[in-house]
Structure 1
């Protein structure tokens, strides 16, 4: 007698190739439109699913998990970050959580460099000048930005993405500095020609560009708070492609408006789509809609990891990308 297929609920529209493969392997309930599930829809999904394929737009907290059905055994997250999932509560209920680490490393690092260049060379300002018909021609002192070669780049979080950014920054002639929970191996430091700072405050105060690549956890919430942001040099730039909650957005806006720092480049925001209304009005800010990992190749690879995690679980083995509370 053939083995009963797992019941899998997918909370968002995924690339067609990924949805097709999921449908071939499992008993899948797909999303009809590309909107996030409401809380009521999530509650309903958790009642009779064996596996939930979630995304970062799904807040899966302890209360939601408390109402999950007995069948739920795996949350296969489509994405590397799992700060939207109460992993500890899931573990206590016997629900495994997997993610898709590594696949967006190069994409995010590429976009980080694009944002560093965009902020330092004032590309958005130049685009607006052209689009508004305000450009009157070349001038010696017009639209002066910063040369990247020789600039000190401070990397907050030296994981996969931080290291990939360091590699790219070295190619631009930037000096690489970093702060991390744990110092990376000597051979990694040597390869990246990276200087480690144990004291974050001391590093922040000396950098020309600070780029953030750490996850959102209780320990990193507002890690870049008002006090620490004020340590930045007046000609420094802040770049964030990780999680918006790491930066005190209101404090950052106040400093940008006052000219206390040169500029910022943001792909993520503290309150999701509820962005501080002053941010879009500022000339010295590059703003993107959380698109650092948005490549066709990356999204397909994320889907492949989700499928491998579910298939491995279905075969009675530990998902290769299992998340445990100790990792967070």
Structure 2
């Protein structure tokens, strides 16, 4: 008999818990920006997934879980690790060397819009309707407002940095759909497995490209940022992420990325002294309106009130 480890709650508390997890993920833009002052992007990725792997493997053993021996499952972990960690983390951290952490978080919020398109193409149960199409259109206009006009001025690193974040969002969207296949496995094991796979893939990349031993030893602030990035924004967040993914649906779960830009912008402005242009906030508003249209619940709530009034 197959055990479903995700049938535990189907109410509003699930969204609250997801919001908490993705709020931690919003902190990843802040912690990553701090770590990037002294470390190179691939090294930050390895530090993030490496420390998180250690924490989750230890926790799994303490709770009586063991990592599986099934080679096919490990193949899936490696694919998930690439889609959900290696590719997006690398693109985001490199992008953050060129743009503010708050702007990176805003662009990352397009993930559900990519998810809607991919879910329509790759699944039978999550098809595009008029509301989702409107949401995608609004989100696209928001992105164009933020980065579109500048691309006409030629090659600029900060424009490439923004495109890198959009590439990360696309990779996250693929991961959100691919991750549904882990429904029958404990969330802690799934998170530990894909992070272990990512760590294995990142080690040779860091040794060949970043060569961190050639850099000065990191300061305590950098070590603290890496540990927070690994434990709060990765280990804790991912356990909840996989717990919720199978029951919330890829599109609905990723809509909680509403919270990521808010926390990232606040941390960036208050602590890092970052400033965003008016066009960035305009783009964020359009992207958020697009997410609300994709979600459909705001429109349904409005229609319900209108119907009740009459």
TM-score, scaled relative to structure 2:
0.24
Larger gyration radius, structure 1 or structure 2: 1
- Higher strand content, 1 or 2: 1
TM-score, with length taken from structure 1: 0.23
Of structures 1 and 2, the one scoring higher in RCO (CA 8 A, sep 6+) is 2
